[in-house]
Amino acid sequence: MATRSKSSQRWLKEHFSDPYVKKAQAEGLRSRAAYKLEELVARDRLLKPGMVVVDLGAAPGGWSQWVRQALGDGGRGDPGRVIALDILEMPALAGVEFLHGDFREDVVLSQLEAMLGGQPVDLVLSDMAPNKSGMDAVDQPRMMHLAELAMDFADNHLRPDGTFLIKLFQGTGFDQYVRELRRRYAKVAIRKPAASRKRSPEVYALAQGKLAQTKTA
């Protein structure tokens, strides 16, 4: 029987002692990532009843699950829509529409657009990240490619004054990407929520107030 490496044992110990993992399990949430979103959304009051939200890179569903619960079932009002997409399968969530596919493929983008049916999006969330190789020279370009695709989607489908929240890795291309966001949105902030592990290179760019016209460079 193969023995686990010290690094994998260390990761398991860290994971199961993580207070956010324990909290997610106790509250019936699919992942600790929900608490990253909760902090980011609560600080800026991003969610409102009846919103159309698209969650890119949604599996295992922590963000979509939290958004659906936060929006509620609408009661007598508009429950809004939560549309989730991921290259990985995701078990069904009540009130969440899921598209299984690779966002880098045009056919999948077309399917997502068909689901929207021309309906403008109020909030685009992207927690997409490539499978890590451990080599920055490989991982960072892959991450930035996904980020560019997410920005293009927001350019084309986010309503004026809408909001775009995306995970980024700090590294090559990061500063230029943030400059591009500032050309497109009234307000851009870089956040690292408490639930984001300190050793992780991830940060979140929150772009609010999509402009009707992109600013000139």
State the catalytic residues: 167
How many Å is the Cα radius of gyration of the chain?
Answer: 18
The answer to the question of whether 175 is labelled as a binding residue is no
Partnered with residue 169 across adjacent β-strands are 202
The answer to the question of whether 106 is labelled as a binding residue is no
The answer to the question of whether 86 is labelled as a binding residue is yes
The answer to the question of whether 66 is labelled as a binding residue is no
Determine contact, residues 169/140, Cβ cutoff 8 Å. Answer: yes
d(CA 43, CA 6): 38
The answer to the question of whether 127 is labelled as a binding residue is yes
User: Residue 100 contacts by C-beta under 8 Å, 6 or more apart in sequence?
Assistant: 85, 86, 87, 88, 89, 90
Instruction: List residues forming the annotated binding site for S-adenosyl-L-methionine.
Output: 61, 63, 86, 102, 127
Instruction: List residues forming the annotated binding site.
Output: 61, 63, 86, 102, 127
